[in-house]
Structure 1
């Protein structure tokens, strides 16, 4: 019976820790310890357990804690809207704060891509990404991602359209799509818009089907090829979390 009481007490303390994040996004170990009135060693053990189950995640750079993606999985049944742009907005904001550039979410609609959500960079010089904007599927980082994982019939139609309307070499575009599937991401520099660059990764659903593309974009003189490659691990990780949240 005593063991049962201790187990329940541990659960209550873990829930108290989660409730610390109702009004704040990040907290240090000391701040959490003060909020729940427990010793740091006890809080640290509880945080380790919560982190192990992805209810809490720790930022290795700041050593601060925040809520983990597992809570999004649990809350999915409570969300009344099926709009992925609404569901994924907090994660997009998190990525924006991490990389410092504009974050966009795209889906494929026929032979076009549509921006369904965007989080603007906080920097003075930035890419303004209007929600609802439509772009062709044969140019740009997100287009490569959306087309690379589309049906062969869609790929063939878009490639033929690109050849006719823009004079693009079909073999070059096919190779880009193969590279995208192989690498798991795509980049573009001034392909669609002068002075702009972007890097994009796919968001997959439970069945492995592509749901959307996640993109980071900004001025080409700041978002260089080297800088984009540095951001790739963070973008792919965020895309993976988003796919989990949408399942």
Structure 2
């Protein structure tokens, strides 16, 4: 019996180490260069424990360390893994050419988002070629409470997800819950959502749903740029073009 308990304890320790290592890797969704102190603070572990895990991840090529700054960044192994993602299951890869055509036609930054819990993740972006533009970072995580893409993803999410979102303790005080709920209903009626300086000053966006061939929501397609070029009226005009593009894209997604 004692031997069995030791084996079970070893398994628990192994699983815990894996979870901690994955938590470290997930820290890099928020930044590209992180110090030992920053990582330790982010995951709530002592520096000595984090340092041992960082050393292992560095040895395996999942992280690299800048000898000058002593900061860590993602290593080559992460890129190697990403190249083996099934193309048929990666909307960001499948829809990139169509996104580039949309950018060339409308002249603004085009992004693609997926919902992950109560957040949205930008999985693909095509930057505007204009001098003044909105730069969209791939991999960025944003809350579902503000922004055109957030409203699209929330509007077409299951009812239980919407309820969890609207009852969230992290709800921003600047956003009226009832007004937001009404906006979700309007998204379902009109088929698109807009935002005008909701998340950041000087930025505007319009977003539409992309449905796969199965009929389920595959992603949110958005166009964003400076308010100097994107008035409320312009966003409404662009919504029609985004909807047409989204229909075409839907045939590319399983």
| TM-score (normalised: structure 2) | 0.64
Counterpart among 177, 197, 221 of residue 190 in structure 1: 197
C-alpha distance in structure 1 between counterparts of 2:125 and 2:100, whole Å: 9
Q: Give CA-to-partner distance per residue, 1:130-165, whole Å, 9 cap, x none.
A: 000000001000000000000111101111227744
Q: Specify every segment of 5 or more residues in structure 1 that has no aligned partner in the other structure, as ranges.
A: 1-78
Q: Per the alignment, in what secondary structure is the counterpart of residue 251 of structure 2? A: helix
How does the TM-score come out when normalised to structure 1? 0.66
Post-superposition Cα deviations, 1:85-128, rounded to whole Å, max 9, x if no partner, equal: 11100000000011100000000001100000000000000000
**Residue pair 2:145, 2:172 contacting (<8 A) in 1 also:** no
Query: Counterparts of 2:213 and 2:168 in 1: how far apart (Å)?
Result: 31
Match of 1:175 in 2: 182
Aligned twin of 2:152:
145
CA contact (8 A) 1:184 1:202 kept: yes
Q: Which runs of 5+ in 2 are unaligned?
A: 1-84
Q: Indicate yes or no: 2:250 matched with 1:243.
A: yes
Within 2, Cα distance between the matches of 1:162 and 1:214? 28
1:98–1:164 distance in 2 versus 1, CA, 3 Å = closer
Aligned pair partner of 1:87 in 87, 94, 103: 94
Quote how far apart the aligned CAs of 1:234 are.
Answer: 1.0
What residue number does 2:236 align with? 229
Are 2:106 and 1:99 aligned?
Answer: yes
Equivalence map 1:117-156=2 (5 Å): 117-156=124-163
Q: RMSD over aligned Cα, in angstroms?
A: 1.6
Aligned residues: 169
Corresponding residue for 2:209?
Answer: 202
Distance 1:162 1:127, change over 3 A: farther
Does the 8 Å CA contact 2:203/2:225 hold for their aligned counterparts? Answer: yes
CA distance in 1, matches of 2:250, 2:188: 17
